[in-house]
């Protein structure tokens, strides 16, 4: 197979008409891949994403097969249709946190969406909002407004991207809420399979979303989470300047991170990880 793309976390190979999307155990923080892998992370992300693709059975997605992949990648790879990826990272936010919170504090808005005054860290938004970013091939993605997406993709496509992103977020968040998990925000990517707008990449995973235990949610402070935030916080606490190389992750932090990814998988899917 021809290796056609090395992402921070995943690799893409061409295999005949399809692509093999392989999730590694790498973890990236502030767009820097840390030197220490998290065991099972690639498989946990792949299995959770596959579970959601089935859940959103009515949304066209890129999956061709979850089993017809080379043996060495079993469990952490999917055979997918090659899509012409839309060059927008489609983000939905239901809660105020992270870069959204920073932007709100500076401007009172996130990606051009004006929000009520007086919101605190971790507050639930009056309704989920669409806050797209650029899809930078290197470096950091930058926030853009809905109008920027309209200029880039045309109004009809921009409106479909926004509606689909908010629908996936809302339906996913409803399911997760029944399992005691708040999905604070998430990122999805779409692409074109001929003229069909298709959900690609990964869906509602601990890498692409913020997952919080609902029973511990308390606006006004940082939330406990089942996602990458834990590693981000640890990396920040080391005094690291966010420039490569990133710090080696100690074994207790590796183990705790693995537990979080596993916890998210188990709560959301209802399956036991083995």
Positions in the binding site for ligand ATP (CB under 6 A):
5, 7-10, 12, 19, 21, 62, 80-83, 85, 137, 189, 191, 200-201
| Minimum separation from the CB atom of position 166 to ligand ATP (A) | 20
Comparing CA positions, the residue from 167, 165, 259 lying closest to residue 206 is 259
| Minimum separation from the CB atom of position 89 to ligand ATP (A) | 9
Strand partners, 134: 88
Nearer residue to ligand ATP within complex by CB, 137 or 274: 137
| Minimum separation from the CB atom of position 191 to ligand ATP (A) | 5
Q: State the Cα–Cα distance between residues 63 and 54, nearest whole angstrom.
A: 10
Nearer residue to ligand ATP within complex by CB, 8 or 105: 8
| Minimum separation from the CB atom of position 200 to ligand ATP (A) | 4
Nearer residue to ligand ATP within complex by CB, 25 or 189: 189
Say how many C-beta atoms besides its own lie within 10 A of residue 183's C-beta.
26
- The count of C-alpha atoms lying within 13 angstroms of the C-alpha of 126, restricted to the half-sphere facing its C-beta, is 7
| Minimum separation from the CB atom of position 106 to ligand ATP (A) | 26
Helix/strand/coil (H/E/C) assignment for every residue in 113-173 = EECCCCCCCCCEEEEEEECCEECCCCCCCCECCHHHHHHHHCHHHHHHHHHHHHHHHHHHH
Comparing CA positions, the residue from 70, 92, 68, 62 lying closest to residue 202 is 62
Say how many C-beta atoms besides its own lie within 10 A of residue 178's C-beta.
10
- Output the residue with the shortest Cβ distance to ligand ATP: 7
Nearer residue to ligand ATP within complex by CB, 155 or 242: 242
| Minimum separation from the CB atom of position 216 to ligand ATP (A) | 29
Q: State the Cα–Cα distance between residues 90 and 231, nearest whole angstrom.
A: 23
Q: Which two tokens stand for residue 198?
A: 């298709």
Nearer residue to ligand ATP within complex by CB, 97 or 203: 203
Q: State the Cα–Cα distance between residues 79 and 256, nearest whole angstrom.
A: 30
* Angle between helix 251-269 and 229-237 (nearest 10): 160
User: Could you tell me if 231 and 29 are in contact, meaning their C-beta atoms sit under 8 angstroms apart?
Assistant: yes
Nearer residue to ligand ATP within complex by CB, 208 or 223: 208
| Minimum separation from the CB atom of position 192 to ligand ATP (A) | 10
Nearer residue to ligand ATP within complex by CB, 30 or 217: 30
Nearer residue to ligand ATP within complex by CB, 61 or 131: 61
Q: Which two tokens stand for residue 167?
A: 């629908």
| Minimum separation from the CB atom of position 198 to ligand ATP (A) | 8
């Amino acid at each position: 197979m021809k290796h056609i793309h090395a992402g921070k976390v995943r690799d893409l190979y061409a295999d005949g008409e399809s692509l093999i999307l392989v999730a590694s155990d790498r973890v990236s923080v502030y767009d820097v891949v840390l030197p220490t892998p998290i065991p099972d992370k690639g498989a946990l992300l792949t299995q959770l994403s596959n579970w959601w693709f089935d859940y959103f059975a009515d949304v066209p997605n890129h999956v061709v097969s979850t089993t017809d992949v080379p043996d060495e990648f079993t469990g952490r790879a999917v055979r997918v249709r090659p899509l012409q990826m839309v060059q927008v990272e489609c983000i939905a936010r239901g809660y105020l946190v992270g870069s959204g919170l920073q932007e709100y504090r500076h401007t009172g808005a996130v990606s051009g969406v004006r929000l009520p005054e007086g919101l605190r860290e971790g507050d639930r938004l009056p309704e989920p909002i669409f806050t797209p970013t650029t899809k930078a091939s290197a470096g950091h993605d930058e926030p853009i407004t809905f109008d920027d997406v309209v200029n880039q993709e045309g109004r009809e496509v921009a409106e479909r991207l926004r509606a689909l992103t908010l629908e996936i977020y809302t339906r996913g968040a409803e399911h997760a809420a029944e399992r005691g998990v708040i999905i604070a925000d998430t990122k999805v990517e779409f692409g074109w399979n001929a003229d069909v707008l298709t959900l690609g990449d990964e869906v509602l995973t601990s890498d692409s979303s913020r997952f919080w235990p609902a029973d511990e949610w308390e606006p006004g402070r940082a939330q406990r989470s089942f996602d990458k935030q834990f590693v981000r916080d640890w990396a920040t606490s080391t005094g690291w300047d966010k420039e490569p190389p990133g710090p080696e992750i100690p074994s207790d932090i590796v183990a705790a991170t693995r537990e979080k990814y596993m916890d998210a998988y188990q709560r959301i899917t209802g399956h036991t990880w083995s």
